[in-house]
């Protein structure tokens, strides 16, 4: 995929993850669920298989360029919501 396509996919995934009921409590889990990396069901029923939720690994699983992972991770750590990150990316990349 090109970086432009990756941004479109990531922004739409961030917006979809923001609509998840638990996105404010655990934005990493909401994003992992939307990207197909892990699901709340797996974590609840198979806790021994639950590891650290890495934004880099989530994006790799979805085929999205990992250059965007650091940006998403830093913004999550700074307290941005998933929707705020999506809006910032739309503004920054003109999408």
pLDDT tens-digit map of 10-59: 999 999 999 998 888 889 888 888 988 877 777 777 766 666 678 888 88
Task: Check residues 91 and 4 and name the one with the higher pLDDT.
Answer: 91
Please name which of 27, 12, 17, 22 lies closest in space to residue 64, comparing C-alpha atoms: 12
Residue 1 has a pLDDT of 56
Q: What span, in angstroms and rounded, lies between the C-alpha atoms of 82 and 17?
A: 7
Q: Does the global pTM surpass 0.85?
A: no
User: Which residue's entry shows tokens 């003109």?
Assistant: 94
Helix (H), strand (E) at residue 83: helix 82-93
């Amino acid at each position: 995929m090109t970086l432009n396509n990756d941004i479109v996919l990531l922004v739409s995934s961030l917006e979809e993850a923001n609509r998840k009921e638990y996105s404010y409590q655990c934005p990493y889990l909401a994003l992992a669920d939307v990207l197909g990396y892990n699901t709340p069901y797996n974590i609840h029923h198979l806790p021994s298989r639950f590891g650290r939720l890495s934004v880099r690994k989530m994006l790799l699983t979805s085929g999205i360029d990992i250059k965007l992972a650091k940006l998403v991770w830093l913004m999550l750590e700074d307290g941005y919501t998933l929707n705020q990150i999506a809006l910032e990316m739309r503004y920054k990349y003109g999408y």
